[in-house]
A and B are shown apart, each in its own frame.
Chain A
Amino acid sequence: MDDAAQNFRAIVERHQGRVYSIAFRIVGDAGAAEEVAQDVFLELHRSLDRLESDAHVTAWLRRVACHRATDALRRRAARGDAAAEEYQDGMGLRTPVREFMPLMNRIEQLLLTLPPAQRSVLLLRYQEDLEPEDIAIEMQMPLATVRSHLQRGVKLLREKAQRTLKEYSRG
């Protein structure tokens, strides 16, 4: 393996968890998430000449991972993929989600019931620990939109979490 390939492999190993997690938490499927994450790194390999620093690479990976995962989710929904539709119904956590996702934690399952744009913003805020201003810059989104997604997303998640907890305590 030549130096360039070794350097690129080091970049993949450094960021693979971040990119895979974003893809997995937006798409909601391990196989699809792996494919999306690989595509993101292939795209990075083609664009690496234009990225000047590791900070640029990180920001680029976050943004492209969110966009590609959302695209994949839309494609699945367009194909009539039952699981993808179920995640997007926005009405709460249903049985099929639990059955399809045995390895997911409760918060991840609830996250899948939010609209994709809210998912992306919440992931950047709570997985990547970015401030709303940084999310607005990275996603090229107005700050007011980011704040709105955050407020609505957290509110929805809170309500769903409380409902789930009540259902759980009722048995």
Chain B
Amino acid sequence: MVERMDEFEKELRDHLQARPAPAGFADGVMRRIEGRKPRRSWRFLWQPAWRWAAVAALVAMTVLGGLAREHQQRVAGERAREQVLLALRITGTTLNQVQHKVNEDQSPAEHHGHTIDLRP
């Protein structure tokens, strides 16, 4: 809604037209911006493209970290499995040796027992 102005208000409007800025105003603003440039150089990191790049890098690092941890766990698991198999092999060999020794110790008696003829 456009509001009507009385004479005094029209006079106000006429007297309050924008004044020109002082001479060299724009030069002063541009000089101050130039002076601030080193501080502003990091601001590009807050631009949308850089924010997305940072998010992508974070996701990639998380995924790669997960894969590396999984790989380490698999390697450790295989190493443990090999150690268990080795232990079982050693145990098996030892048991075989013991079995063999027991068999050897029992053999003469059995052999003797079998060879004695008790028939009249």
Contacts and interface: CB of A to CB of B under 8 A. Distances in A.
Interface of A: 1, 5, 8-9, 12-13, 16-21, 24-25, 30, 34, 37-38, 41-42, 45-46, 49, 105-108, 111, 122-123, 126-127, 129, 131-133, 154, 157-158, 161
Looking at chain A's contact residues, the main secondary structure is: helix
Interface of B: 1-3, 8-9, 11-13, 15-22, 25-26, 28-30, 32-33, 36, 40, 43, 47
Looking at chain B's contact residues, the main secondary structure is: helix
B22 A30 contact: yes
A13 B26 contact: yes
Contact of A20 (B1, B3, B22, B33): B22
A133 B8 contact: no
A127 B17 contact: yes
Contacts of A111: 16
Given A107-B11, A154-B12, A127 B30 contact: no
